[in-house]
Amino acid sequence: MAALAARVSKQQAAAEGLGSNQKAVKYLGQDFETLRQKCLDSGVLVKDPEFPASPPALDYEDLGPCSPQTQGIVWKQPVELCPSPFIVGGATRTDVCQGVLGDCWLLAAVASLTLNEELLYRVDPRDQNFQENYGGIFHFQKPKKPRLNSSYEALAGGFEDFTGGISEFYELKTSPASLFQIIRKALRAGSLLACSIDVSSAAAAEAITSRKLVKSHASSVTGVEEVDFRGHPEKLMRLRNPWGEVEWMGAWSDDALEWNYTDPRQKEKLDKKAEDGEFWMSFSDFLRQFSRLEICNLTLDSLSSEEVHKGNLILFNGYYTGSTAGGCQHSAATYWTNPQFKICLDEVGDHQEESIGEPGCTVLLGPLQKNRRRQKRMGQGMLSIADAVYKLESHRDEHLGRVFFLGRQPSTHSSTYVNLRQVSARVQLPPGEYVVVPSTFGPFKDGDFCLRVFSEKKTKALGVEIGDVVAGSPHEPHPNEGQEDGQLWSLFEKLAGKVNELKMALNEVFSKRTDIKFDGFNINTCREMISLMDSNGTGTLGLVEFKMLWLKIQKPSPSIYWETDYNHSGTIDAHEMRTALKKAGFTLSNQVQQTISMRYACSKLGIDFDSFLACMICLETLFKLFSLLNKDQNGIVRLSLAEVSGFDKLLVAVLYVGLTQVVDIGDAPCQPACLFSPFLYSFVNIYPQGGIHW
């Protein structure tokens, strides 16, 4: 029940904006001011019990306990290394210089942060230093995760972890024609940029080229300009080496002759001669000399300044598991079962800036794997992920089926599947509705993810997950249907009103069928059948009730099961369950499909006929119950505290399959999940991933 209550509480908090800059989450409930004051009162510098100064804090691979790089490590306070370790007299991009550690990406990110003072002091609040009120404790803001996988080695990158923005990467040898315009627009929008040069071996890392560029080393991109050079426009890039020295010695460097052929006013403004690691170079040289560019786009929550244009961010959370992990497009039988997210684009981008192509909507798509770094210690690496975007010609709210994707090419897609934490791509699409399908390369790979859709324009577009709808209208036979033939009478006479007899009678009939694989009904399935049809609460079935049950299961269910068994193996795969249940009258969300897969599929993700029928009976029972509780027919169930105890089991069942969007329990003094009886622990175990819509 505690897990259930926690899940409800987390969903409520997210809906109220908890985790945003305005409502930051305190890690483990720790309060910075309280902890600092405790240190000041005691006169003892803080020691973090959650992140102690010990070998595990470094990491377990390159900086592991046995690594030669960590031998002889001595832990010191920052003031033992430098009298004023923090920012003094204001921060500039030339203040940050790298030492002996290979943390250039981190420092390139820090240097870029100084370009925007507001963002810098969002990450590093002003109210702390090593002189006044120093207690050995500091606080910083990072995106929702207070630490980077609990080690210093995890500081391999910087931008996204600092800002919560969404990064895109460009291979400069195959960059788009509009890249300079993209860079200029990104800098104007307050984005953070860094670039690097690839190496063919580890031995070449940080080698210096003949023109003083450092390989396998991150440099910040701090500006762009277009100058008049001998009567022609010349595109220039301003970069900075975090070392604070070693600068480009080619064209447009500090002492280059090219500056003598530009407007003197531009030369005075741009040509700053100083050994500070910052330099200019032509855009064409930039493309030739560097290999890769990262642009971290900031979102509305990153900045509040009106001076720069921030984009809009739509965030989808989801996970792949079992029946909703469909793999790539080559897995035609399962690809359609992947999570699907609809985006509506209705405002074209600023193409006067980029001056290319037809007017369209510019968006950045970034599926990101969640919690994989945490699982690294357990030997679980990153999954290979990508996404594809398909145009919707008509309004669609239901999960797109197999037929939609057969032979259909996406409007755009990630270049390839890659085992990175995030893949991203900038795309331009005509206005309209689209479905984005993030996927892993292979099917049936479990993992959590989020999909971020970053749009440049302040569009009114909203994003929803396709198929996030729960509805049910199963076939309800009429008592006059069918004939009261001898077989029906014979079966009814064998029942004697007991569940064991029902099991034996039905097993006798269905064991003769050759079109389905059948090993007999489980006793619990038979109990659920009686529970569904028992209208007077006697625990037995009368003739009419039995006939109704017989009409439900004797013809429709086997037919649906057989039709969905595409390979005629006698069982259906978990990913085929959505199709089968739709034929039976049920439209279910991904969350419910995942719950069904875990509850009814075997270890090989197959569902036999007994499990299929048990699932349909359970769903029909729950829909009937919800209809009973939904007294106003408005999709909302309201119960008083006095009513809760009588509906314990069935109410939680309804919640767990997501049949209701809102549940009100009047005057409840505590979390509603705590009100349910201990009997329901077994139900929670049966549906461990069931979702509650609050």
- Give the model's confidence band at 223: pLDDT under 50 very low, under 70 low, under 90 confident, else very high: very high
User: Where do the CATH 3.90.70.10 domains begin and end in the chain?
Assistant: 166-297
Query: Is the distance from CB of 522 to CB of 506 less than 8 angstroms?
Result: no
* Cα separation, 142 vs 122, whole angstroms: 9
Query: Is the distance from CB of 214 to CB of 235 less than 8 angstroms?
Result: no
Q: Which of 401, 327, 325 is nearest to 594 (CA)?
A: 325
Q: What is the pLDDT of residue 657?
A: 45
User: Where do the CATH 1.10.238.10 domains begin and end in the chain?
Assistant: 469-587
Q: Which CATH architecture does the domain made up of 469-587 adopt?
A: Orthogonal Bundle (1.10)
Q: What is the pLDDT of residue 19?
A: 57
- In CATH terms, 166-297 corresponds, of 2.40.440.10, 3.40.920.10, 3.90.70.10, 3.40.50.720, to 3.90.70.10
**Average pLDDT value for residue range 176-182:** 91
- Give the model's confidence band at 684: pLDDT under 50 very low, under 70 low, under 90 confident, else very high: very low
Beta-carbon contacts of residue 244 (< 8 Å; ≥ 6 apart): 94, 96, 97, 98, 276, 277
pLDDT tens sequence across 638-668: 656 555 555 554 554 544 444 433 334 443 3
Q: What is the pLDDT of residue 276?
A: 76
- Give the model's confidence band at 387: pLDDT under 50 very low, under 70 low, under 90 confident, else very high: very high
User: In the predicted model, is pLDDT for residue 391 greater than 90?
Assistant: yes
Q: What is the pLDDT of residue 607?
A: 86
**Average pLDDT value for residue range 210-238:** 90
Higher pLDDT, 230 or 352: 230
Q: What is the pLDDT of residue 98?
A: 54
pLDDT tens sequence across 493-550: 666 557 788 888 788 878 887 777 778 888 888 887 887 777 776 777 777 777 778 7
Higher pLDDT, 692 or 35: 35
Q: What is the pLDDT of residue 440?
A: 93
User: In the predicted model, is pLDDT for residue 347 greater than 70?
Assistant: yes
CATH (residue range 312-467): 2.60.120.380
* Cα separation, 166 vs 454, whole angstroms: 8
User: In the predicted model, is pLDDT for residue 594 greater than 80?
Assistant: no
Mean pLDDT of the chain: 74
Higher pLDDT, 160 or 327: 327
Long-range contacts made by residues 127-135, C-beta under 8 angstroms, separation at least 24? 128/86, 129/86, 130/78, 130/79, 130/84, 130/85, 130/86, 131/84, 133/36, 133/40, 135/35, 135/36, 135/37, 135/38, 135/39, 135/40, 135/45, 135/46
Helices and strands (DSSP H and E) totals, the chain: 22, 21
Q: What is the pLDDT of residue 282?
A: 96
**Average pLDDT value for residue range 597-611:** 81
- Give the model's confidence band at 248: pLDDT under 50 very low, under 70 low, under 90 confident, else very high: very high
- Give the model's confidence band at 108: pLDDT under 50 very low, under 70 low, under 90 confident, else very high: low
- Give the model's confidence band at 285: pLDDT under 50 very low, under 70 low, under 90 confident, else very high: very high
Q: Which of 6-10, 166-170, 288-292, 382-386 has the lowest mean pLDDT?
A: 6-10
**Average pLDDT value for residue range 570-594:** 82
What is the DSSP code (8-state) at residue 645?
G
Higher pLDDT, 341 or 352: 341
Q: What is the pLDDT of residue 463?
A: 52
User: Where do the CATH 2.60.120.380 domains begin and end in the chain?
Assistant: 312-467
pLDDT tens sequence across 197-211: 988 777 777 788 889
Maximum mean pLDDT: which of 38-47, 124-133, 141-150, 281-290 = 281-290
Q: What is the pLDDT of residue 293?
A: 93
Q: What is the pLDDT of residue 8?
A: 41
Q: Which of 219-223, 431-435, 516-520 has the lowest mean pLDDT?
A: 516-520
Q: What is the pLDDT of residue 446?
A: 85
pLDDT tens sequence across 446-472: 888 888 888 876 554 455 577 666 777
User: In the predicted model, is pLDDT for residue 58 greater than 70?
Assistant: yes
Q: What is the pLDDT of residue 388?
A: 94
Q: What is the pLDDT of residue 641?
A: 56
Higher pLDDT, 680 or 503: 503
Q: What is the pLDDT of residue 183?
A: 94
Give me the active site residues, please.
104, 217, 241
pLDDT tens sequence across 76-107: 888 888 777 766 555 555 555 555 555 566 66
- Give the model's confidence band at 676: pLDDT under 50 very low, under 70 low, under 90 confident, else very high: very low
Q: What is the pLDDT of residue 261?
A: 92
User: In the predicted model, is pLDDT for residue 435 greater than 70?
Assistant: yes
E strands, 352-460, in order: 361-370, 385-392, 412-413, 425-429, 432-440, 447-455
* Cα separation, 230 vs 282, whole angstroms: 14
Instruction: Specify which residues 233 forms β-bridges with.
Output: 228
User: In the predicted model, is pLDDT for residue 287 greater than 90?
Assistant: yes
